[in-house]
Chain A
């Protein structure tokens, strides 16, 4: 290997790596470690009291439960939408393709007030559902709707490139061996998509768990019913209960780290599969 020599050819390794490490530490690692240090300064009873009280537990159930359901719904429809965009031709396809990223570009507060206007009892969709006794705004269903909004592009954008690169030879082989489209989809296409689908699901889930702006307007924020965990952290902060806010944040951070680890492992599998198919 000629790596050690090429390291000497290009200049600038030390200053750029140093800047990367200093900036990463100052902006990300130090502030986040403050959360854990502050949380560890609490004794076990106080920590449990703050992080696992009935109201907080109810918020975990809502945040993680709604995120799980939203990510699952997004996975199903995201794969279908990615399939539409790659395999079918339809009017307005380019506009749909560009607008899928809307939740990335649109401020979450804007999404929040738009969704609550849309789903309130006198809104377009809320008005349609009201005669059936279905309430979305200011209920846990509202939380779900907001989390679906912000999570959809994660699934579409991880599955779409894999589908674009998918070699149709495999489908041809399946067809020539007598498989119908359903069997081909189940045994040939979906298995190849699985790592990407799982990555998209995990990313949508991770984003949904921490989401704040798009949820609080439509949720109604009723304690133990439609109050998400990030809102509870803000509520505690506004009451100057720093210890309480930090304990909840520490629990959420641990979950985030685990999710990040899973996403990384999944992405490595997507990359490995991609190179195998290429």
Chain B
């Protein structure tokens, strides 16, 4: 850092500080125009849709919520969504921990390719993810005949929904843990092992405390996406009401039936979950980025 200026910590203080420095300050009119453009764009494209959901949900009063929480299809879709998350998040945590350990603590050839492949689901359309599972597990897919012979239902059933959701959430926990564990190095673990700790004890007592905020961060993102996934689940679910409809699919059905109040009531519930996600994320982010493990 420069000796001439003493730059304070990033964030609110830094912004205020930079606007008092003639070298990093714009004329007030420029500042105003940029603020109106940036925050205005944010308000129109992100804030207004969010507000719309709540306004539409409350348009017919609170009765809609009374209907929604007593509707058996809505209730079963809530159950299915949470059941899916219950499978998907632990599977991704297990994978993320394994991938983080192998990639961050050891050197091997092809590591960069492996990291790229883990990111692959981010750039694949969820619809194509659903299609690819159809081609493997569908009635006319690779494993289709075998599954039918053994009376196993994967497509248009819970296992298919869980698998498609696992695909689209695949990188969330892993990429967070890989970059965090890479930046932490392996000295602490090596010291523990050299001092006689077992591998498992080293992982539980040394690694896990170091990565726990990163892990929570990844889980939050993974959880939000798992609850909200639409395209991939839409392909594999079969849309059987009361059985294979997740919450987002229920929103679609209600909307297409012109039950707008109901659709927006369920949507507003998902909005609240999204806002809670952002709140927790913001709180965890400060801990991850302050580099403070305690």
Residues of A participating in the B interface, judged by any CB pair closer than 8 Å: 3, 6-7, 9-13, 15-17, 19-21, 23-24, 27-32, 34-35, 38, 77, 80-81, 83-84, 86-90, 93, 96-111, 113-115, 117-118, 123-125, 145, 148-149, 152, 164, 167-169, 171-172, 174-176, 181, 206-207, 209-213, 217, 230-231, 233-234, 237, 242, 245-246, 249, 252-253, 256-257, 259-260, 263-264
Is there an interface contact between A32 and B123, defined as CB atoms closer than 8 Å? no
Asked if B120 lies at the interface with its beta carbon under 8 angstroms from chain A, I say yes
Q: How close is A238's CB to chain B, nearest CB, in angstroms?
A: 9
- B 87-106 to A, binary, CB cutoff 8 A, 1 in contact else 0: 00000001101110111011
B45's contact among A7, A105, A152, A209, by CB below 8 Å, is which? A152
Contact partner of B142 among A19, A34, A105, CB < 8 A?
A34
Interface residues of B (CB under 8 A from A): 1-2, 4-5, 7, 10, 12, 14-16, 18-19, 21-27, 30-31, 34-35, 37-39, 41-42, 44-50, 52-53, 56, 94-95, 97-99, 101-103, 105-108, 114, 116-129, 131-136, 138, 140-142, 163, 166-167, 170, 186, 189-190, 193-194, 199, 202-203, 221, 224-225, 227-231, 234-235, 247-249, 251-252, 255, 260, 263-264, 267, 270-271, 274-275, 277-279, 281-282
Query: Which residues on A sit within 8 Å (CB–CB) of B50?
Result: 99, 102, 106, 114
Q: A12-B199, A172-B2, A234-B234 are in contact. Are A110 and B228 (CB under 8 A)?
A: yes
Q: Establish whether residues A89 and B135, one from each chain, have CB atoms under 8 Å apart when the complex forms.
A: no
What residues on B are CB-neighbors of A181 within 8 Å? 25-27, 30
CB of A246 within 8 A of CB of B131, answer yes
CB of A113 within 8 A of CB of B46, answer: no
Question: Nearest B residue to A175 by beta-carbon distance?
Answer: B23
Q: Is the CB of B102 within 8 A of A114?
A: no
Q: Are B248 and A213 in contact (CB under 8 A)?
A: yes
Q: A31-B136, A110-B228 are in contact. List 4 more A-B contacts (CB 8 A).
A: A16-B102, A28-B167, A29-B117, A107-B267
Q: A185 to B10: give the CA distance in the assembly, Å.
A: 20
